[in-house]
A and B are shown apart, each in its own frame.
Chain A
Amino acid sequence: MKKILFESKSKMQKNERVINKILIILGVISILTTIGIILSLAEETIQFFRSVSIVEFFTSTKWTPMFEPANYGVLPLVMGTFLIVIFSSVISIPIGLGSAIYLSEYAPKKVRKILKPVLEILAGIPSIVYGYFALTSITPLIRSIFPNASVFNALSAGIAVGIMTIPMVSSLSEDAMMAVPDSLRLGAYALGSTKFEVATKIVVPAAFSGIAASFILAISRAIGETMIVAMAAGSTPKLTLNPLESIQTMTGYIVQISLGDVPAGSIGYKTIFAVGTLLFFITLILNILSRNIVRKYRRAY
């Protein structure tokens, strides 16, 4: 400290300017990352659409880019992703919201103190572990109930993705409910409401924007989840609504092709970038949507 104080003032000012510049450059790295993502996706995607028509990509119902005759309809991959989103949401949204209501409105402090960290552990477990769990525990269970289910199926992967996203829904929803001022609760209790009535008629509606945002984020996460679907959902691009069949998602396709060591410039290399671009835009739109919901409907208390 002493040494610094005796340095000349002009030298200190010069140092400050240099530090400021360095920090700006660091800040710009995040922007460069985004530009990098967009450019690297765009370059190969544009090349892809030089050989495949956009109309075929979005309307054809067959995805067989590596076979003859090659078909480039992305709908089966989108459908597979959609199936995973449905089953994971059926699990994560009600259970996540239920535990958020419990933790925020019902749980005694002591219980909350134990349960919350445990749910956080659930969020910290790598998705590869959930993929393994889906393949070795959930799938056999499903096949014992539905003997005609295939070894790889959308239901098993969807359930695992749902379990993985429970903590996301519950902790974000709980944050939103905790932000609801106590005066509203006390007012409702004073009118003779039960805890359940306070939770469902006062707290949940008041925190609705935050809760809705958490649902959208969980869906976005389910769309982008990769290892679970790569392990448990299968690799059969198919337009089906049957959850017991093997399917393929957008992310699952990218993994499958990447494992085959794609040479740059090949059609396989270009397809994963086209699918990646679609994935990027879908999740980007959902993330922006969730942020706007919070901003638009946030009530000031």
Chain B
Amino acid sequence: MSVLREDLVRLIDNPVSLQRRKIKNKFFHVVLFLCTIFGVVVLAFLLYDILKKGLPWLSVDFIKNFPSRFPKKSGIYPALLGSLMLILLTTVIAFPIGVGTAIYLEEYAGNNRFTELIKLNIANLAGVPSIIYGMLGLAVFVRALGMGRSILAGSFTMALLILPIIIISSQEAIRSVPGILKQASYALGTTKWQTVTGVILPYAIPGILTGTILAVSRALGEAAPLIVVGALSYVSFAPSSVMDSFTTLPIQIFNWASMPKKEFQNVAAAGIIVLLIILLAVNAIAIILRDKYQIRMKD
């Protein structure tokens, strides 16, 4: 509070006119508002720019075609399929591990050094740059475990990348379950696991799903770790198994944007529109799922 007193003393010693202080306040009100609006304006311009460049190139053929040397014939099919397969597998791997870890940390783990170590470790993992996960994937999954540059190797890499996000958000969701509910359940003589599956998870599931979807959208947009793992730049076939080599939407967009021919920039914009639509859809699913479960909780 000493700050305030000093200010007060300064005010008495050197009175600034109220008028000037009010003008200063008004001025910064405008400046701070402009700071906030800056992001909105950039977002609007970015979307306008991409729609303007990409929409004319967006067609059914664009979705169905393979990449080509000719911008007009280029399509996004293998990348779309690659992204969807990758994301499905990544979720299947990361979701149970993430939620399990969160349940362990919140409900089972004792208050000891080991628990502290895991928590600290997860916080640190959340701050590791994504490209480092790519190097982990390259060394462990691609080389040491012999998965090659496959969808499987990419999915494991991505799963580790999004694991901290799923764990942290699931922990928060589990922590928000009222203690009264848990105690009521234990009073009925249930075991810990029965309480977890019967009381805690149903209550926490909207939060867990929201966190997971957030993590999945992160993985959908990531390109850096996959480039290191070695997702192919040109795929002339549709991946059919998890051991196939692959490409994804962000990598395909990256390739198109780096092409010397100017028209490919517009093809890239069309790819970005597809990517953003998928992200939007995924987030919409999250909202729908969350609402559905929340209604059930009220019953």
Contact = CB atoms under 8 A, between A and B. Distances in A.
Interface string A123-149: 011111101110111000000000000
Given A27-B118, A36-B140, A283-B129, A258 B101 contact: no
Interface stretch (B70-78, B202-210, B253-261): B253-261
Contact of B46 (A15, A41, A133, A217): A133
B191 A126 contact: no
A209 interface: no
Given A33-B160, A124-B217, A128-B250, A106 B29 contact: yes
B202 to A, nearest CB: 13
A300 interface: no
A288 interface: yes
Interface stretch (B3-11, B60-68, B172-180, B235-243): B3-11
B29 A258 contact: no
B135 A227 contact: no
B284 interface: no
Interface residues of A, number: 95
Given A15-B193, A30-B101, A231-B254, A283 B128 contact: yes
A29 B99 CA distance: 12
Contacts, number: 264
B131 A284 contact: no
Contacts of B3: 201-202, 205
B227 A132 contact: no
Given A205-B3, A255-B228, A30 B135 contact: no
Chain A interface SS verdict (over half): helix
Contacts of B96: 26
B158 interface: no
A227 B138 CA distance: 18
A166 B39 contact: yes
Contacts of A217: 127
Nearest to B5: A191
Given A106-B29, A217-B127, A258-B230, A126 B275 contact: yes
A228 B29 CA distance: 33
A34 B139 contact: no
Contact of A264 (B39, B143, B164): B143
Interface string A110-131: 0000010011011011111101
Contacts of B153: none
A102 interface: yes
B276 A163 contact: no
B4 A126 contact: no
A195 B25 contact: yes
A94 interface: yes
Contacts of A43: 139
10 contacts: A30-B125, A37-B135, A97-B35, A102-B32, A106-B32, A118-B39, A137-B46, A163-B39, A226-B224, A286-B127
Interface of A: 1, 4-5, 12-13, 15-16, 19-20, 22-24, 26-31, 33-34, 36-37, 40-41, 43-44, 94-99, 101-103, 106-107, 115, 118-119, 121-122, 124-129, 131-133, 135-137, 163, 166-167, 170, 187-188, 191, 194-197, 201-202, 205, 217, 220, 223-227, 230-231, 251, 254-255, 258-259, 261, 264, 272-273, 276, 279-280, 283-284, 286-288, 291
Given A101-B32, A119-B40, A272-B135, 14 more contacts: A4-B194, A30-B164, A33-B136, A36-B140, A102-B32, A102-B35, A124-B217, A127-B221, A188-B4, A197-B25, A217-B127, A226-B129, A255-B224, A280-B129
